[in-house]
């Protein structure tokens, strides 16, 4: 004979809360099951019917009824559990973290998780878990612009930025530099084209056809680029490029910004520039060539042309570079926007 059910009285507030939990679309399914069990039990429903409706066995349903009797609505939540025992101690965590922050003794540049696991005697997955918890990433390297040792840094950078932000009237500001060691690389077998679900494919073996050097000038306030590919990048080529720019803009005051490469500061370059009334050369501070805006355009060139390119000869590479410059000037040339707000950069 089945045991008679003991009555369960619900207050209006409890019933309303239980009904809300059973009807809310975002309530956890286990809480819905438990709430429905309490409501049906309080209405006198038999255990077989409760089990068929909620999916809980009579034994499980009876457990949640007992919990509700003693704790109320809070009794329907799971009690905190101790969880899985820790697989490593606090001392091991500190040891692995400290070891990952040191230089490996086996002449490697940095630690891998596999080598850390061997050195610590723990598994690779445990080492991975410890490093993730400590937010330590031995494989990652961040770069920043180091402090320039130039004692005249403030004056030089103010001069360069002043030309960017407030140039003299009728002045032309040119950012000039070289991009060297551009290799004309050809693959030993034809490239396989891009297809759905497959990237472009190239052989790992290649043939070098020489290197090209590009002298480039970026008109800071117009975005126009002048370029010339040369065999070498000595002061003679640089001086010839300056003479070309000087002749190209005969009625403009020209301010040339370049870095501290020795070819830029050669005595022949300085002597020639000193006798040119319309020309002034400005040098970026030491170790601060990033102030030169043509470096931004060189990055665009590397991304659009050099990355993944193949050429049958150096002449083919030069032709593509010069064609790219022509197309860039016709379709994309515009000044770069100055976005720095003056907030100090943190390391």
Report the CATH number at residue 282. Answer: 3.30.420.10
Contacts of 274 (CB under 8 A, 6+ apart): none
Q: Locate 85 and state its tokens.
A: 């025992």
pLDDT score, position 1: 38
Same domain, 71 and 185: no
Q: Which single residue is written with the structure tokens 């050809």?
A: 186
Same domain, 43 and 170: no
Q: Locate 32 and state its tokens.
A: 């819905």
Q: Is residue 140 part of a domain?
A: no
Strand partners, 283: 258
Whether 268 contacts 234, CB under 8 Å: no
Q: Locate 285 and state its tokens.
A: 């501070």
Conformational region of residue 94, where left means phi above 0, alpha means psi within -120 to 50, and beta covers everything else: alpha
Domain residue limits at 50:
12-76
Residues of the chain with pLDDT under 70: 1-7, 341-347
Same domain, 171 and 302: yes
Same domain, 177 and 304: yes
Strand partners, 279: 254
Closest by Cα among 183, 175, 248 to 215 = 175
Residue 269 CB neighbour total at 10 angstroms: 18
Same domain, 130 and 160: no
Give the tens place of pLDDT for each residue, 204-217.
998 999 999 999 99
Same domain, 261 and 127: no
Q: Locate 64 and state its tokens.
A: 């949640």
Same domain, 257 and 309: yes
Query: What does the buried/exposed string (b/e) look like for 329-347 if buried means 16 or more CB atoms within 10 Å of the residue's CB?
Result: beeebeeeeeeeeeeeeee
Q: Locate 188 and state its tokens.
A: 């030993």
- Cα(first)–Cα(last) distance of the chain, in Å? 78
Pairing relationship of beta strands 171-187 and 206-219 according to DSSP bridges: antiparallel
Q: Is residue 266 part of a domain?
A: yes
Taking the C-alpha atoms of residue 260 and residue 289, their distance in angstroms, rounded to an integer, is: 8
DSSP per-residue string spanning 185-221 = EEESSPPBPPBTTB--B--S-EEEEEEEEEEEEEETT
Taking the C-alpha atoms of residue 122 and residue 119, their distance in angstroms, rounded to an integer, is: 8
Same domain, 19 and 106: no
Q: Is residue 145 part of a domain?
A: no
Q: Is residue 24 part of a domain?
A: yes
Q: Is residue 16 part of a domain?
A: yes
The H helix count followed by the E strand count for the chain is 12, 5
Same domain, 159 and 275: yes
pLDDT score, position 2: 46
CA 58, chain centre distance (Å): 56
Same domain, 232 and 314: yes
Whole-prediction pTM value? 0.68
Same domain, 270 and 165: yes
Taking the C-alpha atoms of residue 298 and residue 295, their distance in angstroms, rounded to an integer, is: 5
Q: Looking at the 3D structure of the chain, how many domains does it have?
A: 3
Q: Is residue 338 part of a domain?
A: no
Q: Is residue 148 part of a domain?
A: no
Q: Is residue 300 part of a domain?
A: yes
Same domain, 105 and 226: no
């Amino acid at each position: 004979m089945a045991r008679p059910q003991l009555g369960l009285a619900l207050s209006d507030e409890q019933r309303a809360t239980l009904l809300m939990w059973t009807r809310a679309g975002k309530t956890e399914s286990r809480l819905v099951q438990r709430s429905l069990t309490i409501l049906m039990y309080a209405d006198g429903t038999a255990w077989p019917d409760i089990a068929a409706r909620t999916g809980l066995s009579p034994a499980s349903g009876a457990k949640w009824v007992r919990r509700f009797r003693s704790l109320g609505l809070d009794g329907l939540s799971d009690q905190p559990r101790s969880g899985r025992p820790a697989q490593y101690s606090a001392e091991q965590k500190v040891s692995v973290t400290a070891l990952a922050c040191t230089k490996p003794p086996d002449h490697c540049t940095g630690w891998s998780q596999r080598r850390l696991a061997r050195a610590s005697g723990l598994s690779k997955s445990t080492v991975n878990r410890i490093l993730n918890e400590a937010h330590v990433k031995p494989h990652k390297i961040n770069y920043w612009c180091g402090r320039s040792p130039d004692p005249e840094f403030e004056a030089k950078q103010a001069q360069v930025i002043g030309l960017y932000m407030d140039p003299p009237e009728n002045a032309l500001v040119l950012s000039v530099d070289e991009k060297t060691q551009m290799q004309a690389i050809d693959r030993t077998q034809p490239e396989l084209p891009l297809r759905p679900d497959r990237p472009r494919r190239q052989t790992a073996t290649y043939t070098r056809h020489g290197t090209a050097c590009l002298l480039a000038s970026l008109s800071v306030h117009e975005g126009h680029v002048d370029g010339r590919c040369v065999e070498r990048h000595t002061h003679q080529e640089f001086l010839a490029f300056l003479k070309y720019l000087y002749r190209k803009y005969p009625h403009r005051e020209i301010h040339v910004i370049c870095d501290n490469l020795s070819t830029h500061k050669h005595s022949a370059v300085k002597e020639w520039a000193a006798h040119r009334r319309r020309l002034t050369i400005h040098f970026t501070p030491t170790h601060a060539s990033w102030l030169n805006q043509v470096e931004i355009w060189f990055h665009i060139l590397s991304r659009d042309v050099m990355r993944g390119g193949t050429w049958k000869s150096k002449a083919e590479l030069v032709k593509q570079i010069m064609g790219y410059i022509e197309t860039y000037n016709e379709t994309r040339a515009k000044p770069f926007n100055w976005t720095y707000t003056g907030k100090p950069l943190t390391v």
